[in-house]
């Protein structure tokens, strides 16, 4: 049957399918401590757009694969050829020095990109030397924005790992500034998809500027976005009820499907959505 012979309803569904995009957001967990599980998961899911946090890049070719997150993913996931990396800080672990940040991988060409720091910009000479709650709270973060050409439709993709705090409901000034930055960056743009490990709960008052401008895909339906198998619930029971991975879209987008599968691929759970431009 040719396109001209399709019934109006089937033609509409066909057009919708062409304008739908599968988006996955995932915190890799220190570059991918569970890479052997992450790679087959992504191969099965085959997203059109992949938003990643805690992405590592190390100059030492002998370092383990998780310290080469981007190169490892590109080697195994050839359906996502276009990648942009947004380093936020220099870190160290197991004797390796590396940059850590966010990355977007896509089957669509990247036609533009911007990295907006939340306060401190990336400095390749400034290395995080402490690994404790005080250091995590002061860790530099950024908002990554890439523009995709999805067969003629411009998509504005925003990816972040947010300001850290053990209290997901604490509307600290640094968190408020972060959310104001996101709202300003997404304002007036079409076909916005914003997601990541935001490091605060959907109930946090700091989110008000984003909530006023974008629509939440998951709302309040999730109980946690942590993989509790990988968390010490005796010492930190709050992980079992902490939703810190969020996804928003602009009002010219519609979520056809969305899920947060209980996949053992990281210390976070992935967010998956099939989104259409309307």
Residues in a beta bridge with 90: 99, 127
Q: What is the pLDDT of residue 9?
A: 54
Q: What is the pLDDT of residue 2?
A: 37
Residue 59 above 60 pLDDT? yes
Q: For domain 13-277, give its CATH number from 3.60.10.10, 3.40.50.300, 3.40.50.170, 3.90.1150.10.
A: 3.60.10.10
For the chain, domain boundaries = 13-277
pTM (two decimals): 0.93
The tens digit of pLDDT for each residue in 136-160 reads 999 999 999 999 999 999 999 999 9
The tens digit of pLDDT for each residue in 244-260 reads 999 999 999 999 999 99
Alpha-carbon distances of 258 from 36, 92, 172, 222, 242, rounded to whole Å: 24, 35, 30, 11, 19
The percent of residues in the chain predicted with pLDDT above 90, rounded, is: 90
- Region 192-218: mean pLDDT is 98
Residue 65 contacts residue 73 (beta carbons within 8 Å): no
Q: What is the pLDDT of residue 133?
A: 87
Considering the chain, what is the average pLDDT of its residues? 93
- Region 209-222: mean pLDDT is 98
188: left (phi over 0), alpha (psi -120 to 50) or beta: left
- Region 201-210: mean pLDDT is 98
Q: What is the DSSP letter of 265?
A: S
Q: What is the pLDDT of residue 1?
A: 36
Torsion of CA 228, 240, 202, 86, to 10 degrees: -30
Q: What is the pLDDT of residue 165?
A: 93
Q: What is the pLDDT of residue 17?
A: 53
- Region 57-83: mean pLDDT is 96
SS3 at position 207: helix
Of 124-133, 151-160, 265-274, least confident by mean pLDDT is 124-133
């Amino acid at each position: 049957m040719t396109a001209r012979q399709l019934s109006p309803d089937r033609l509409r569904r066909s057009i919708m399918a062409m304008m739908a995009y599968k988006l996955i957001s995932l915190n890799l967990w220190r570059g991918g401590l569970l890479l052997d599980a992450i790679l087959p998961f992504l191969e099965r899911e085959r997203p059109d757009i992949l938003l990643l946090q805690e992405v590592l890049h190390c100059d030492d070719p002998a370092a383990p694969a998780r310290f080469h997150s981007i190169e490892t993913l590109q080697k195994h996931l050839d359906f996502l050829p276009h990648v942009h990396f947004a380093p936020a800080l220099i870190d160290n672990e197991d004797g390796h020095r590396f940059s850590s940040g966010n990355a977007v991988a896509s089957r669509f060409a990247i036609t533009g990109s911007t990295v907006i720091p939340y306060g401190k910009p990336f400095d390749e000479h400034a290395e995080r030397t402490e690994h404790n709650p005080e250091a995590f709270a002061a860790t530099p973060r950024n908002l990554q924005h890439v523009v995709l050409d999805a067969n003629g439709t411009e998509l504005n993709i925003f990816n972040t790992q947010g300001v850290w705090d053990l209290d997901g409901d604490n509307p600290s000034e640094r968190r408020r500034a972060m959310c104001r930055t996101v709202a300003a960056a997404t304002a007036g743009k079409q076909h916005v998809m914003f997601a990541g490990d935001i490091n605060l709960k959907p109930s946090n008052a700091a989110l008000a500027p984003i909530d006023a401008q974008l629509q939440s895909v998951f709302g309040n339906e999730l109980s946690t976005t942590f993989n509790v198998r990988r968390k010490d619930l005796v010492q930190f029971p709050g992980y079992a009820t902490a939703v810190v991975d969020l996804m928003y879209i602009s009002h010219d987008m519609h979520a056809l499907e969305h899920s947060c599968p209980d996949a053992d691929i990281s210390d976070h759970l992935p967010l998956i959505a099939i989104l259409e431009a309307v």
